Amino acid sequence: MTEKKIRVLIAKPGLDGHDRGAKVIARALRDAGMEVIYTGLRQTPEQIIQAALQEDVDAIGLSILSGAHMHLFPRLMELRREKNLEDVMVFAGGIIPDQDIPRLKEIGITEVFPPGSSLAEIVNFVTTHIRAA
């Protein structure tokens, strides 16, 4: 029996239009055999959670470089709880200062990847965290 593919939603919350990283990660995950859905730009927390629900994903990767993460992520994680999607693993990357990471982990974001993180590291992380669930 073939193993079910890991399904990942790569999302761009808020107005930030820097999509290079998000698209590179999306492609790396796809190359690693995962099913990847990319939300496109300018997604509200509501739209992201709706997409996660609709696409029945195992994980959400959030990419943000605008500095709005401390406002948008808590809202998103709240909606995730409301929609009973707490088994969907959430990870993030972009421009997220070190001092914000503890708070983000507190609200349920499993890992934050700073600039310079390797693709292999991220692919391994997703694989490990989904299979282990």
Partner 1 sequence: MKTIETREQPPASRSFETLSGHPVREIYTADDLRGFDVPRDLGTPGEYPYARGVYRNMYRGRLWTMRQFAGFGTAEDTNLRFKYLLEQGQTGLSVAFDYPTLFGYDSDSPQAYGEVGRCGVAIDSLADMETLFDGIRLDQVTTSMTTNAPAAVIWAMYLATAEKQGVDWKDLSGTIQNDILKEYIAQKTFIYPPEPSMRLITDAMGFAAREVPRWNTISISGYHIREAGSTAIQELAFTLRDGIEYVEYGMRAGLGVDEFAPRLSFFFDVHNDFFEEIAKLRAARRIWARTMKERFGARDPRSLLCRIHCQTAGVSLTAQQPYNNVVRVTLQALAAVLGGTQSLHTNSLDETLALPTEKSVTIALRTQQIIAYESGVAGTIDPLGGSYFVETLTNEMEAGARGYFDRIDALGGMVAAIERGYPQREILESSYQYARAVERKEKIVVGVNEFVTEEPPPVDTLVIDEDVQKRQCSRLKELRARRDSTSVSRNLAELKRAAAGTENLMPRILDCVRCYATLGEISDALREVFGEYQEPNIF
Q: Which residues of the shown chain bind partner 1 in the complex (CB under 8 A)?
A: 10, 14-20, 22-24, 26-28, 36, 38, 40-42, 66-68, 70-72, 95, 97-98, 114-116, 118-120
CB of 127 to partner 1, least distance (A): 16
| Min dist. Cβ of residue 24 to partner 1 (A) | 5
CB of 21 to partner 1, least distance (A): 9
- Minimum Å gap between C-beta 130 and partner 1 is 20
Our CB check for partner 1 shows the closer of 5 and 71 to be 71
Q: Which is nearer to partner 1, 67 or 108 (CB)?
A: 67
DSSP for 66-131, please give it: SS-HHHHHHHHHHHHHHTT-TTSEEEEEES--GGGHHHHHHTT--EEE-TT--HHHHHHHHHHHHH
Q: How far lies 113's CA from each of 53, 60, 84, in Å? A: 24, 13, 25
Of the candidates 32, 9, 3, the residue with the CA atom closest to the CA atom of residue 85 = 9
Please report where in the chains the tokens 């890992």 appear, as a residue: 111
Choose between 33 and 132: whose C-beta lies nearer to partner 1: 33
